[in-house]
Amino acid sequence: MRHAAERPERLAVRGPAGELTYAELAGRIQGAARHLLGRGAGRGALVAIGLADPVELLIAALAADLAGATPLVGEHMWDRTRWAQVVPEPPAVLVDRPLPYVAGPALWHEAKPDDLAWACFSSGSTGRPRAVVRARDSWTGSFPYLGELAGIGPGDVVLVPGSLVSSLYSFAAVHTLATGATAVVPGRWPGGDLAALLSEATVVHLVPHRLPDVLRSPGALRTAVVGGAALGPGARAAAAKAGVQVVSYYGATELSFVAVDTDGGGLRPFPNVEIEVRGAPLGEVWVRSPWLAEGYLGGAAGPLRRDGDGWVSVGDVAEPYRMGRTLRVRGRGGGAIQTGGATVVPEDVEEVLRKVPGVADVVVVGSPHPSLGAVVTAIVEAEDAPPRAALEAMARSGLDVAQRPRRWYTTPSLPRTPTGKPARALIAARLAGDDPDIRRLA
């Protein structure tokens, strides 16, 4: 609203169906909020939003907030039956089509830091969605810090090339609008339109496996903000060669930002974040910060745990950490493979195997074994899979005996979560079900 008053003609958002200035966007939000209030979506209500058009989704979410309600962003394909399955309490309103404009006097909601101002879904790689709800300041308070770290200002054009159902991309879009920049929201990965979008975009938010696509034709791009998974080897060097700064970060839907790396020197705590790693040689990551979510809607069960001193964890594991040092995250603890008495962290194996030429990505899971408990199994994403001998040679050179995969598979495309992470549990299930798209490497 402030940007609409100060720079009404500035382009706020561009989507698949058109674009809106800040004045036009503010007007649409006002009209949609009046409609929601007329349907009973006032202070404290839950507004479920499932819209395919990303601009209409943003309008609905910000209108719900203006009305004092809590917007909950979900998939546009969900029908009412599916919504009833994933939401523990019935929403006051289900928005499954663009909201109409209702004329009337200007609305104003007094924004408070503890308003429950946003909710979205997190399923990690398990495929079971949980609604994560957060207070306003847990996001908005971090906006200036991200703006400073990534150098994002009102003059930027920010490409957000993914579904706004993902907290990574929804945060990016809302941060852009709060900054007064222009948000370009195609609602999905733009594919053949990417080069044209990058000819104008100065900043992009994305997940690591999309960075190589961006670097092939960086256009006007200055900065890539990368989250959702670990950055692959050589990514920063390739970005530097293309003239693009990479700001990578580690976090979770429940935790928001935890640590950030702006120069390749390693992950260090995001501003106002405290980090502890409890246990050795690999321990659990615990975080205390102002950016934490309130929890799961309806008290649903999930990986988020709290202790009595304000520390929280979602079960990620890392190497021992001391204040002032870099944080080396090794993955989600629940995914560790127990094989013949040894514990193998899949991310350690994946990091080594990604170095093999021709490997686009790789997922490591445990396959059941009658005497060892499980054996390390690698599923390689590649158009033309490298020879198994090349993969095994890399494993011998960079991994301990227990870490080396005993079974090898290849697939042209790994299934992924909305944040771009490989859907590890789904991949394991498909492997166990003899999915024909997953082929055994001889």
Write down the pLDDT at residue 348: 82
| DSSP for residue 270 | P
> Chunked in runs of 10, what are the mean pLDDT values of the chain (442 residues)?
96 97 98 97 93 98 96 92 85 96 92 92 61 95 97 98 92 98 96 96 93 95 90 89 96 94 96 94 92 90 89 91 91 72 79 92 89 87 92 91 92 84 84 91 89
DSSP 221-235: --EEEE-SSPPPTTH
Domain 10-110 matching CATH 1.10.3720.10: the answer reads no
What pLDDT, on a 0 to 100 scale, did the predictor assign at position 126? 43
| Dist CA 306 CA 292 (whole Å) | 11
* Per-residue pLDDT, 268: 97
Q: How far apart are CA 369 and CA 219, in angstroms?
A: 50
- Whole-number Å distance between alpha carbons of 223 and 203: 5
- Residue 179 is encoded by which pair of tokens? 């900054």
Tell me if 134 sits within 8 A of 306, measured CB to CB: no
Q: Does domain 134-292+300-334 match CATH 3.40.50.12780?
A: yes
- Topology (CATH level 3) of domain 336-440: GMP Synthetase; Chain A, domain 3 (3.30.300)
pLDDT in tens, 394-437: 999 988 888 999 999 999 999 887 667 788 888 988 898 889 99
Q: Please state whether beta strands 223-226 and 203-206 pair in parallel, antiparallel, or not at all (unpaired).
A: parallel
Q: What is the pTM of this model?
A: 0.83
Q: Check residue 128 and give its pLDDT.
A: 56
Residues 373 and 273: their CA atoms lie apart, in Å, by: 38
pLDDT (0 to 100) of residue 127: 45
pLDDT recorded at residue 82: 84
φ, ψ for residue 382, nearest 5 deg: -165, 145
Which residues, 6+ apart, have CB-to-CB distance to 441 below 8 Å?
380, 385, 388, 391, 408, 409, 410
Tell me whether the CATH fold assigned to 134-292+300-334 matches the one assigned to 336-440: no
Closest CA to 257 of 378, 422, 418, 145: 145
**Cα separations in angstroms, 103 against 1, 29, 40:** 17, 11, 17
In 297-355, DSSP assigns E strands to 305-306, 312-313, 316-318, 329-332, 337-339, 342-344
Evaluate whether 442 touches 388 at the Cβ level (below 8 Å): yes
How many CB atoms neighbour CB 59 within 10 A?
A: 25
Instruction: Please list the residues that pair with 158 across neighbouring strands.
Output: 183, 203
- Token digits for 211? 């960075």
Q: Per DSSP, what are the bridge partners of residue 317?
A: 284, 331
Domain ranges of the chain: 10-110, 134-292+300-334, 336-440
**Cα–Cα distance between 330 and 342 in angstroms, integer?**
16
